[in-house]
Structure 1
Amino acid sequence: MNRVILYGFGYIGRMVAKEIVESGALEIIGAIDVDEKIVGKDVGEIIGIGKLGVKVSSEPEEVFEKAKPAIVIHATGSFLDKVFDQIVLAVEYGYHVVSTCETLAYPWLKYPNLADELSRRALERNVVVIGTGVNPGFIFDSLPAFLTSICSKVEKIKATRIIDPSRRRYSFQKKIGLGLTSDEFREKMAKGEITGHVGYAESLMLLSEMVGLDIANVIEDQEPIISHEYLETQYFKISPGKVKGIKGYGKGYGKDNKLKAEVEFIATVGVSDKDSIEIDCGKYVIKWSSNGVPGDYATVAMLLNVAKIVNNLKRGLRTMKDIVLLHA
């Protein structure tokens, strides 16, 4: 099965489309979006490669009715309760769904009822639904889980991701509050107008299930990082005293209140990208680091690589645990 419907044709959706065309491994047969500026336009023309013969539609039912069989690559939102109906509709039409929805990476934590309903429907329709990406999906969960393959036991895991948001897309810079005052940041976070990073807790619970950390309690939070100098990105002007980034964390504790795993995310203008993981294996410590996994490109690659194997997965609501098979 190599036919793909793109549900959500914003920045990530368009990157996915370009990669599909360049690689030739998959075929785009449908695209869905609500943006009136692109509805009715050819997918290829939107991404600047000439006509592909596939037009963006605002009517998912019409696309689903015509396109079978195919895999839906879904990239419209971060919160399962907001995109649940979109995913369920694809499932009801008999499509596998590979989604960037961060809370779908481990939906039983915050949306247990929706997760159970989605799992039931996927089983009834004999399809797979899975949430993936770079984070959640890789840096804070799948990668450290795989690194524990050389551990006989795991005492504690810490993963840290540091990025310069000035090299990321507009929507990312906006959602972490660049250019806002500290009060504006907190007000917009409280109202859900910006989100910061989504998925600290989901990554921890996913990691716990993969490795057997038995995390019983998770806390997460994030705060703005304030600039002391004037800064600019391609989208925002940041005056002294305004937000230049965020610092967030998630911590997972066992039933004995012992810290089992923690993740830290720092996105601030001007830093050097870096990812690092430290695993306490009891008798020794494993340390891994890189000069930064490129978030958008890595997300696209993860979506497409999972799409290529999704038909081989056990039916129902799945997680990256079903793909990362080797761990402690």
Structure 2
Amino acid sequence: MSDNDLTRYSGLVALVGRPNVGKSTLLNALIDEKLSIVTPKPQTTRHRIVGVMGNGNTQIGLIDAPGVHLGTKTALNRVMNENAATSVTGVDLAVLVVDRGRWTDDDAAALRNAKASGVPVGLVINKADLEQDKNRLLPAIEQQSQRDDFAFVVPVSAHRSDNLEALTSELNSRMPQSEFLFDDDALTDRPMRFLVAEIVREKLIIFLQQELPYQIAVEVEEFDSSDPTKTYIQALIWVARDNQKSIVIGRRGSMLEQVGRSARLALADWLETRVDLRLFVRVDPGWPDDEARSRTRA
């Protein structure tokens, strides 16, 4: 029997949860590709991004969106919450990702958002590997499982890719019969420039150990891959104040040089070419507090 004769199943699955619970790490682990950026800081994810997971006759679009958080101090915060809320629109399944040992008001808000979609909600209990005492792990899983009538409950370690087979089986079994929603070789719904900008932003968050990363956005102005041996990239780093520009550039350009070197290596490994990366820093006063500008950069 040829592949064309197989019954196909395809659908959308939203990964929801509070910030920094491991949704992006889980997405990357499930598709076995670095697609969503990951840092130790909460609210790293700003955008709704779809990663495509294929498994024989089943294809799943995994939606990673900003974590639900109750703070709405800036327009950027509000836009991120809107992105989180709309991530469950039109999906076939929602998966609430939680920490094995914590439950907060933000977790409860994420659960309410998932249930509002009207589709089945599964529970993934992440970071199971961090509990050294396994006698304490099972009661923690049981406690989280009783928070709602979940379609399924699967403990995993996204960081170590533990127990992902069980989760994949649960996801596959709940996909509707359908032709594939994405091309067979698709990895994501996002364009290359977006992914490049996210890698640069990831390095900025990692190197700038302050609140400043939340005032930063990255825009790729030029992306030229016409030379198969080298890719030219020019990107703008937007900040909200002049003193932030000085911090990003660093003493004699040292910070920007570190960020550029790390981003260049990551991009070269990902694109499998040499990368000529040029970074420029510009000030756009107060952009995180402006609704329109936050929507284009969130």
Same fold by TM (over 0.5)?
no
- Kindly indicate which of the two structures has a greater share of residues assigned to helix: 2
TM-score (norm 2): 0.32
TM-score (norm 1): 0.30
